[in-house]
Amino acid sequence: MLARRLLSSTGSLIGLAVLVVLPFVVTSPYYLHLLVTIAIFSILLLGLDVVFGYTGEVSIGHAALFGIGAYTAGCLAMHFGIGFWPALPLAIIVASVFGVVLALPALRVTGPYLAMVTLAFGTIVQILINEMTDLTNGPLGIKLTTPLFIDLRWLGDSIPLFDMSLKRMKEVEYYYIAAIALVLTLIIINRILASHLGRAFEALRDSPIASDCMGVSVYKHKVLAFVVSAGLAGLAGALFAYSEQYIAPNNFGFELSVQFLLAVTVGGRKSRLGPILGAVIIVFLPNLLSDIELFRYIAGGIALVAVIAGARAFVKDPENRVRNAIPVVLCLAFFVFSLLLQKITDYKLAVFGVMILFVVYYLPDGIVGFLKRAVAQLWPSLVQTHAVIHADTHGKAVTASHEGHSGVLLHVDNVVMQFGGLRALDQVSIEVKPGTIHGLIGPNGSGKSTMMNVLTGIYVPTAGAVRFKGQEMAGKTSSDIAGDGIARTFQNVQLFAELTLIENVLVGLHHTYQATFAEVALGLPRIRREEKAARERAMSLLHFVGLADLANEEARNLPYGKQRLLEIARALALDPALLLLDEPAAGLTAPDIKHLVEIIRKVRHAGLTIVLIEHHMDVVMGLCDTVTVLDFGQKIAEGKPAEVQANERVIEAYLGGVATAAE
Ligand SMILES: Nc1ncnc2c1ncn2[C@@H]1O[C@H](COP(=O)(O)OP(=O)(O)OP(=O)(O)O)[C@@H](O)[C@H]1O
């Protein structure tokens, strides 16, 4: 852990030192300008990574947001004489507003459909910039002057100006301003992504349904992700306008959006270094592809690395020798191709395409992802050690949010759920008393999971009412219902696959955070306190289900049985009054089922009420106080386990089948 921290702070210090020293090394104005462009693109790509890497949405509209930032700065200068400094926050605000516009379709469509919508957004913005000549000067574009260091012109001519106010920035000074903007962006983005907000972004990517059911509103957090991303694109745009001193509509076309996406993909998603590396690549690649000598050196370097890695794989992985040899041969062929080339300019696009294809195919996590894996193999101690988090030993691991409710906790009243011609639930009424375990059983397709989905707001019932603690639930969103105290697990496990175990539980603890967005961005004490308390609580919940040893493992690497236990820990993090368990014993081995039964008993003992769907009759009969039986969407029996077990209709419709299946 210490080594890792040391490495990370040493890395940051080296990065800072490089940023400070670079202009002393790179004195050519041309290359200095390229460095400024890299810093500006890095800011944009760090923002794009929030949407693309973290929430998993493909946006082809970021060049337009970039253009909106640039044109905000341009229009403010051209029409109102408003200079560089006020333009920066205003560009952030204007682009953020457009970020909300772009987020709205993301709430309805995802994947390729969203990509198409964002593409349309980009095209419309470009057309508008072209057509609204009064505002934007149309295809002629807008010219800007080098920014003043301190702009006091807005005070009026009568106020005497001091020297600095008339001094225009030199390229090197502009470089430092762009570098400071980049460092601030890195700090703020790092804080946001390491907080409960960053986890919420990842959670909604991995399972939107589970996020909502954990009280993490997909709607709210998707909009937030787009706003953060758009704000950074706006800032980058304004910096770009003053760096280039001329902007025109064709600077912000579709190709630029595609380049941005490729830059994040090639650099490496979900990392701070990846977008910066991506920016370096898209800025330097055109230069690299113009200089044949440099191109040959780089192709040679890549071939050398491939040969070394290939030789290692040849020895260590004898079963996949042919597969491992292919990238080595391709890299060597690329090097030979670079030697045979006389003039590279004719092949620029083809070479660019081949490089992208190669990276996307062989380095799906980008260059940074590849390097991380290589470091993990060579120096496992640097990446595998995590902070030792002590479980919260003072409080109880499991607490119910509203203990002591008397009467009926959950009242399902004549609920009907119709899917076209199919009645999945047909006038079902159930009463669940507080502190009990209420079983819900029935043959496959009888409507049990549909009932869970109705109770958690995923389905709105066609008719009937659901009252929880006397309050009507129909029409509430899943995240509101979770906030009211109903937590659930899923029949088909819905974990946040790329998050670690502790992070999965922390998503369930999202409701414990009171810190505002600004507090998170500024890293104020409250968010640090809340994060520490939440981590301790998450650890105690992992202890409770017996998974504490695996806290820092990614959820997707867990065996199936343990995934179900993790879902229970995550649901308990909500401090619910009612816990809905949908077939928690499915796929578990006999010892795992025994462990599960103990956990459910302890949960009930802590004061929670449980609704349990289960096909394992011994589990149902051993745990439940009351059992309701469904068949073809109708309630056919209800009572104590022994009564239900002896019921003729139940034996005929279900238990006979279960007995036969068990034999
Ligand atoms: N979204 C939906 N659209 C259409 N039909 C659905 C939908 N959800 C469920 N159904 C149908 O409703 C019926 C009840 O399904 P449900 O999943 O609730 O049964 P179940 O009792 O949970 O079964 P199992 O034990 O196999 O999980 C089934 O016929 C199912 O195909």
According to the model, what pLDDT value does residue 466 have? 95
Specify the residue with its C-alpha closest to ligand 1, atom 29. 445
CA of 582 to the centre of ligand 1 (A): 13
According to the model, what pLDDT value does residue 660 have? 47
DSSP for 492-553 reads S----TTSBHHHHHHHHGGGG----HHHHHHT-HHHHHHHHHHHHHHHHHHHHHT-GGGTTS
Pick the atom of ligand 1 nearest to 491's CA. 27
CA of 632 to the centre of ligand 1 (A): 10
Type of residue numbered 577: A
Cβ < 6 Å from ligand 1: which residues? 419, 422, 424, 442, 444-450, 491
Specify the residue with its C-alpha closest to ligand 1, atom 17. 449
List the strands of the sheet with 463-468, edge to edge: 422-432, 410-419, 463-468, 471-472
Whose tokens are 């490729």? That residue is: 262
According to the model, what pLDDT value does residue 661 have? 45
Distance CA 253, CA 241 (A): 15
ipTM for the predicted complex:
0.96
DSSP for 450-505 reads HHHHHHTTSS--SEEEEEETTEE-TT--HHHHHHHTEEE--SS----TTSBHHHHH
According to the model, what pLDDT value does residue 349 have? 67
Paired residues of 463 in beta bridges? 416
Furthest CA-CA distance within the chain: 98
CA of 649 to the centre of ligand 1 (A): 21
pTM: 0.87
Which residues of the chain form CATH 3.40.50.300?
A: 433-459+481-662
Q: Which residues of the chain have pLDDT under 50?
A: 385, 660-663
Radius of gyration of the chain (CA): 29
According to the model, what pLDDT value does residue 663 have? 42
Enter the CATH code of domain 433-459+481-662: 3.40.50.300
CA of 451 to the centre of ligand 1 (A): 9
According to the model, what pLDDT value does residue 662 have? 43
Pick the atom of ligand 1 nearest to 417's CA. 12
* C-alpha count within 13 angstroms, C-beta hemisphere, residue 427: 1
Question: Best mutation site among 209, 426, 444, 450 for ligand 1, i.e. most ligand atoms within 8 A of its Cβ?
Answer: 450
CA of 448 to the centre of ligand 1 (A): 8
Residues 264 and 45 sit within 8 Å (Cβ to Cβ): yes
